Amino acid sequence: MPRKKPHPASRRRFLQQAAAASIVTALPYRTAHASTTTRATIKNHAPLTPNAFYPLPLGSIRPTGWLRAQLQIQANGLGGHLDETWSDVGPNSGWLGGTGESWERGPYFIDGLLPLAYQLDDPRLKAKAQKFIDWTLTHQQPNGNFGPTSNNDWWPRMVMLKVLTQYYEATDDPRVLPFLTRYLACQLATLPSRPLQDWGKFRWQDNALTALWLYNRTGDPSLLSLVRLLHSQGFDWQKNFADFRHTERMTAEQLHLPEGGLSDLALSTHGVNNGQAIKAAPVWSVLTGNPADRAAIHQMLSALDTYHGLPNGMFSCDEHFAGPNPSQGSELCTVVETMFSLEQSLAILGDPALGDRLELIAFNALPGAFTDDMWAHQYNQEPNQVECSLHHKPWTTDGPESNIYGLDPNFGCCTANFHQGWPKFTASLWMASADDGLAATAYSQPPSPPRSAAFPSPSTKTPTTPSATASHSHSPPRRRQPFPYISASPPGLSTQPSASTTSRSPHQPPAPSPVSIAPGAPAT
């Protein structure tokens, strides 16, 4: 379907046009508000503001080349074996009905394991994730609440909500929508007497994301009331960054951590909270349509860059704001949560600058935090990281183990949460555009080593070099090189630069591609 007018994301325009011409005509979208088939791209339903782009259902994008190899490394490493080696997500997990860890770690693990399993189409990984999902879906309480009964914290359930939306898009399991409907109704009824607090108060936007997702599938207006309630009870991130006062490196004394560490000051300057909050204003803007809400993300990113920016695209948080010195670091959870926030914000706003930052972080901050085989990771990584040791480091509140590569250095949150980084990046390489096109929203790397013959006419962009903080035999090459043209695998679509892409013969065989769009997607 030819586009009527070019999208302002000019950097990606030629790919969008080419992809739309070659794919969408053969695979028409299902864009209805409600559909009995989940292998569809569901758009925002009135009165929500339309997105610029819409993420494709999980499994629509199948990685090949270097990115597939990276996902396979993750599956062969800790990502595919964590439940066998770490009791917090093992058989005694509270999210499997056991008496073990019952807070965020089970949901964190599945939030990355599930997309990894479906992108690799790996039955072993699918079965692992399914155990957690089946226990969750079959143990909903009469009032609609779910999860381990040993706690009623809103926060870990927000993560499992994200898991279930992905799972539904991949499987069409008919249990999911009624389950989510009952839980979110329970939340709407309960929040007035048991409001958001602590982590949930600062992470309300992750909950709102699922409420909006469900509204687009059921049309239940009470879900919009829930989004308003979450916003009113949640921390006001826009106000915080409209008058940003945390412009210096935080200290433990300021944060009063010895007294508990959960004050609003500690939580509002906490790295992971801020990484998650990058999407707060864009998510809220879907409901309000307010231009100020849509613009607020740039004020937040600008403040983070100005006062705490690091050269790998991140802001310092070890684990609270730490200033711009490159010897300060960022927590791995913050890296993957920032990536997810950028992916969601890019979909809502369509600003290519968000895609640029996503790529910068994905190919710099993320891989440096792992060993080559992804069996060990750092809690905290610094751009100017000259040694990984127990020697004293200038971190704000992190412990001495934080940049050691290990199973759960410093604290186990990153052990459970890092899994979402590469899979969700993979899921965000292509998105549906609002006018039924297909947009190349983030670029992957080529197979390694790069084959220059496959990319004869480089062009528009050279990638940044990855972090030098660790050795990565499987990582993208460090030397600058031509950017590989993202391609789609359906016959008839070239991987060549724009001129040849738009003029190539439909019978010309496609060049090797780092990414493929699975047959049947995004069509129903």
Q: Rule CB under 5 A: which residues touch Zn ion? A: 331, 333, 413-414
Nearer to Zn ion, 161 or 272 (CB): 272
What span, in angstroms and rounded, lies between the C-alpha atoms of 301 and 336?
16
Count CB atoms within 10 A of the CB of residue 505.
9
Count CB atoms within 10 A of the CB of residue 227.
26
Min CB(96)–Zn ion separation in Å: 22
Nearer to Zn ion, 319 or 359 (CB): 319
User: What's the token pair of residue 199?
Assistant: 């982590």
Min CB(331)–Zn ion separation in Å: 5
Nearer to Zn ion, 255 or 413 (CB): 413
Residue with tokens 């559909």: 35
What span, in angstroms and rounded, lies between the C-alpha atoms of 73 and 53?
30
Min CB(52)–Zn ion separation in Å: 30
Min CB(333)–Zn ion separation in Å: 3
Nearer to Zn ion, 319 or 356 (CB): 319
Among residues 43, 163, 27, 71, the alpha carbon closest in space to that of 429 is found at 71
Q: Is 83 exposed, middle or buried (0-12, 13-18, 19+ CB in 10 A)?
A: buried
Among residues 237, 233, 234, 265, the alpha carbon closest in space to that of 252 is found at 265
What span, in angstroms and rounded, lies between the C-alpha atoms of 107 and 520?
29
Strand, helix or coil for residue 331: strand
Nearer to Zn ion, 67 or 413 (CB): 413
What span, in angstroms and rounded, lies between the C-alpha atoms of 401 and 415?
14
What span, in angstroms and rounded, lies between the C-alpha atoms of 372 and 368?
9
What span, in angstroms and rounded, lies between the C-alpha atoms of 83 and 365?
25
DSSP state of 436: S
Nearer to Zn ion, 147 or 275 (CB): 275
Min CB(196)–Zn ion separation in Å: 21
User: What's the token pair of residue 459?
Assistant: 């062009």
What span, in angstroms and rounded, lies between the C-alpha atoms of 142 and 121?
35
Nearer to Zn ion, 169 or 331 (CB): 331
Q: Can you spell out the DSSP letters for 93-115?
A: -GGGTSSS--SSHHHHHHHHHHH
CB 522 within 8 A of CB 29: yes
Nearer to Zn ion, 53 or 202 (CB): 202
Strand, helix or coil for residue 304: helix
Nearer to Zn ion, 214 or 413 (CB): 413
Helix segments in 77-203, DSSP class H:
78-85, 105-120, 123-138, 154-171, 176-190, 198-202
Min CB(220)–Zn ion separation in Å: 34
What span, in angstroms and rounded, lies between the C-alpha atoms of 372 and 282?
35
Nearer to Zn ion, 161 or 332 (CB): 332
Min CB(420)–Zn ion separation in Å: 12
Min CB(378)–Zn ion separation in Å: 10
Indicate the residue whose CB is closest to Zn ion. Answer: 333
Min CB(486)–Zn ion separation in Å: 30
Min CB(414)–Zn ion separation in Å: 3
